[in-house]
Amino acid sequence: LLRRKTGGLGQHGITAVVLKSIVASGVMALAVLPLLDILHRVLPAGLLYELLLVATSGSAGTAVFVLMAVLMRMDDISILGRLLVDKLRVLTGLGR
């Protein structure tokens, strides 16, 4: 019933978004895994190790994913970017 009303998900570009997300996630994993290996060998075990591991790999993974999303022209990333810019303008008072 929903498919008849909306025309199915394929007509809304969901398949392309999912495929682009899979590609971006794969590239992100390929970038972060070597970083994790290097950090694991260089840093001593402990709380600082855990914090640096999460912060570094999380930041690098996010940067790679966003870069891939921009390069593949994912609409969701441009929408998110505009939202963030608008929110920063409101918070800083530059939007007045």
20-47 average pLDDT score: 91
User: Count of alpha carbons within 13 Å of 5, Cβ hemisphere only?
Assistant: 2
What is the distance between the alpha carbons of residues 95 and 86, in angstroms, rounded to a whole number? 8
pLDDT, tens digit, for every residue of 37-89?
Answer: 998 888 888 888 899 899 999 999 999 999 999 999 888 788 888 888 888 88
Q: Is the pTM of this model over 0.85?
A: no
Nearest CA among 86, 83, 28, 33 for reference residue 61: 28
pLDDT score of 56: 92
Q: Is the pLDDT reported for residue 1 higher than 60? A: no
